[in-house]
Structure 1
Amino acid sequence: MRRTQLPGGLRVVTEHVPSVHSASVGVWVGVGSRDEGRSVAGAAHFLEHLLFKATPSRTAVQIAQEMDAVGGELNAFTSREHTCYYAHVLDSDLALAVDMVADVVLRGRCLADDVEVERDVVLEEIAMRDDDPEDTLGDVFLSAMFGEHPVGRPVIGSVDSVSAMTRAQLHSFHVRRYTPDRMVVAVAGNVDHDEVVGLVREHFGRHLVRGQSPVPPRRGAGRVPGRPTLQVIRRDAEQTHLSMGVRTPGRHWEHRWALSVLNTALGGGLSSRLFQQIRETRGLAYSVYSTVDTFADSGALSIYAGCQPERFDEVVRVTTDVLSDVARDGLTADECRIAKGSLRGGLVLGLEDSASRMHRIGRSELNHGEHRSIAETLDRIDAVTVEEVNAVARQLLTRPFGAAVLGPVRAKRSLPRPLQTIAG
């Protein structure tokens, strides 16, 4: 892995993977939905859509045709803390990929007519989210966990905010937020670092301001106010869906690797405690798992399960019993050993292609400003002890829980007692 910082603070990171015949190019921008004011909720995601509609040199059709003509992929995604625009192409088409991604990110035009067309597309995406109980529940859960804090808002925004957003607001968001010091160009595959830097210099041009490069901005640690809550979405459906969990420290926490082991052992695989207790032993649910969301200043460890309404009380009871048992008695050495093996295998197998490696180095540079080799990461996982994992379990699983429920729920008072406790 090699790194170069260019004038204006733009960082270029590459990883040479000689065994592939592809190149993945990503422009990572340290701007996401948590950087929006409430009146423009969803602006980062709306802008991500809009920049593909037209540049000074390409129409939307031309953008699509040029990428299709080389069999490549051009796309983007927005999260709460960053936005990524990326292309995946043959290594021989590296120059085209850098050109096109830079063209979209830097010179997308935000035309008024395109705003109206894409507004309808985003509203359709919100409707699609609302039709998917699991997606809806994910947004509701983070709202229950973080309340008015910006990470508690949906990345996609709301119908009201997207409907009211103007071209001027989106253009201003683009100009003010998409600055070189907030950007990382990450490239992985059969590529040469010096060639990549030359292409970036060529296509970023006037955006590379001469003079002293600013220090890349980094989000500081903050405090999330208030306590987690219970939120209920009443909906006629065949299943009742549950997400419940606790707040965690942010991604810079010294025990984050132990948290990963805890999460994996709780609900990260087929042998995990929740999967075995809820699905395999009792047959209460088809889908049950745990996950960790981490941000700069906070995070959440959450459990999801979807079940038939008549089984919901028992699913809640078994889930809370498992969490109480782990908080009190901890995980076994075997559970930690299996979880660590799962993490190691998942890491290595997940980096078999250039796209996954590009995502790894881009996210690492943007979030941490440093890079750990795969071997170093594996060593860090190996170094986690059962005692550290169980100390993290005691610390986190005794915190106040938050929860979100979606389904045919009559009233909060009809919910199982552990959820009523959250509701106060």
Structure 2
Amino acid sequence: MATDLHTYQLKNGIRLIHRPNRSEVTHFGLIVHTGTRDENPEEHGLAHFMEHMFFKGTAKRSPFQIISRLEDVGGEINAYTTKEETALYASFLKQDYRRAMELIQDIFLHSSFPEKEREKEAEVILSEIQGYDDSPSELIFDRAEEMLFPDHSIGRNILGTEESLSRIRNGALKKFQTENYATDEMVLSMVGDVSFKNFCQAAEKYFGDIPQKSRSRERVQPLTVSAKKIVEKRNAYQKHCMMVGPAYALPDQKRLQLYLLNNILGGPGMNSRLNMALRERRGYSYSAESHYSPYTDTGVMMIYFSCDADKFSRSMQVTREEIRKLRNNLITDKRLSHARKQLMGQLAISHENNEHLMLTSGKRYLLFNRVDNLEAIRKNLEQISAEMLRDTANEVIDPNKLNTLIFE
């Protein structure tokens, strides 16, 4: 555990994590280990829909009053939904921390889900879905996970469909909340110039009376299918290609190896191997990247590029060659040292964003009951050898075992 972190647990099982700083702005969030993978088939899109409905009225506040409660003092409130978690969070001046915590408690516990607002919000989300459908470079990521995990909730997109949204009613929202929001799977996270004592006292006041409860629905581990290739006609100007396969889950000790390998292959740096080979050297592609997304019981590795149709075959050949090099050759000591420094630099910069730090600290504490500091991560990175990276590449990114999805 990082030395500048403080933790506490309420009697109902809700955990607290606190990181002090000297900023005038404080960040607070409630993170729940419930996401779209916890939906039944007929509930597709419900978890994300609920995130929207949290801002549409409570027993004592109208939608305008919810928005104004923090904005009146210069703060802001937001939320997000992923496959495995939901978060409500806020940023505000440090003296307004009680106001922010009470507001998040109110909308989390007392949302009324009014029917009129439900109908309006369904239209908003439907427009969001249509926007994705019009963007092949975004849609292909959702479709790739559907391809990897067919007939499992973790493979379905987060937003839902027009048909599934039309089925969502007030009762379904409350039922999902009752069955999935468990106090032993909630974390309250704060980063700011509020004392740990004051944070704990406010948490007891606003969240301590929530009845202790465990999840009533069990998660089912997804199974992947044999590798296949699908080509879809999209009438797009460019071709889009995604190679996708299973990867290490969050508890896997080799997770950090794959983070490092992914950074080398197609991470956010402009000097990633895919970007250098496809864009900088040859000008074949504007977008060439890879992504590793670990979940609690599985993981996903994605390799993506887009290009003009006449460059597709050559782009695929170059991509496969870059994968082959990682699988067959050892990275030099110099390149490995650079890769470690690059990943550490990216992590350090992200830690400078206090809102991001609050959310990631809360998520890590939720999943692992601890948060490693940067020095611990650096030491773990130093233990990763070139041989370990080559072994990881052979385990995870075998082109013959990856599913391939092409939009053309």
TM-score above 0.5: yes
Shift of 1:243: 1.4
Once superposed, which parts of structure 1, at least 4 consecutive aligned residues long, lie more than 6 Å away?
A: 216-221
Unaligned runs of 5+ residues in structure 1 are 408-424
TM-score (norm 2): 0.93
Match of residue 312 from structure 2: 312
Q: How does 1:22-421 map to 2 (within 5 A)?
A: 22-209=25-212, 222=221, 224-268=223-267, 269-398=269-398, 400-407=401-408
Tell me the CA shift for residue 397 of structure 1: 2.2
| Residue 191 (structure 1) shift | 1.9
Partner of 1:100: helix, strand, or coil?
helix
Question: Aligned in 2, Cα 1:36/1:221: closer, same or farther, shift over 3 Å?
Answer: closer
Q: Are residues 9 and 285 of structure 1, via their aligned partners in 2, closer, same or farther at CA, if it must alter by over 3 Å?
A: same
Task: Provide closer, same or farther for how the CA distance between residues 333 and 246 of structure 1 changes in structure 2, counting only shifts above 3 A.
Answer: farther
1:159 partner amino acid: E
Q: Which amino acid aligns with 1:401?
A: L
Q: 2:16 aligns with which of 7, 12, 17?
A: 12
- Partner deviation per Cα, 1:347-387 (whole Å, 9 max, x = no partner): 11111132011012111012212221222122212222212
Residues 199-245 of structure 1 deviation map (CA, whole Å, 9 limit, x = unaligned): 11111253154xxx87x999889452422433333212221111113
The answer to whether the 8 Å contact 1:22/1:189 transfers is yes
Aligned equivalents of 2:328, 2:245: Cα separation in 1: 16
State the alpha-carbon separation in 2 of the partners of residues 228 and 155 from structure 1: 23
Distance 1:6 1:137 in 2: 42
AA partner of residue 4 (structure 1): Y
Alpha-carbon deviations, 1:24-77, whole Å to 9, x = none?
111001110100011111110001101110011211111112222122221111
What letter matches 1:227 in structure 2? Answer: S
User: How many residue pairs end up in the alignment?
Assistant: 402
- 2:141 and 2:36 map into 1 onto residues whose CA distance is 15
The answer to whether the Cα contact below 8 Å between 2:180 and 2:216 also exists between their aligned partners in 1 is no
Partner SS, residue 286 of structure 1: strand
Whether contact under 8 Å (1:181, 1:217) holds in the other structure is: no
Contact 1:8 1:207 in 2 (8 A): yes
| Equivalent position of 1:411 in the other structure | none
Identity, in percent, stands at: 27
Which letter maps to 1:260?
Answer: Y
| Amino acid across the alignment from 2:12 | G
Q: CA 1:145 to 1:225, structure 2 compared with 1: closer, same or farther past 3 Å?
A: closer
Over aligned residue pairs, what C-alpha RMSD do you find?
2.0
CA distance in 1, matches of 2:208, 2:393: 50
Amino acid at match of 1:265: I
Change in Cα spacing, 1:49 to 1:91, as seen in structure 2 (3 Å) is same
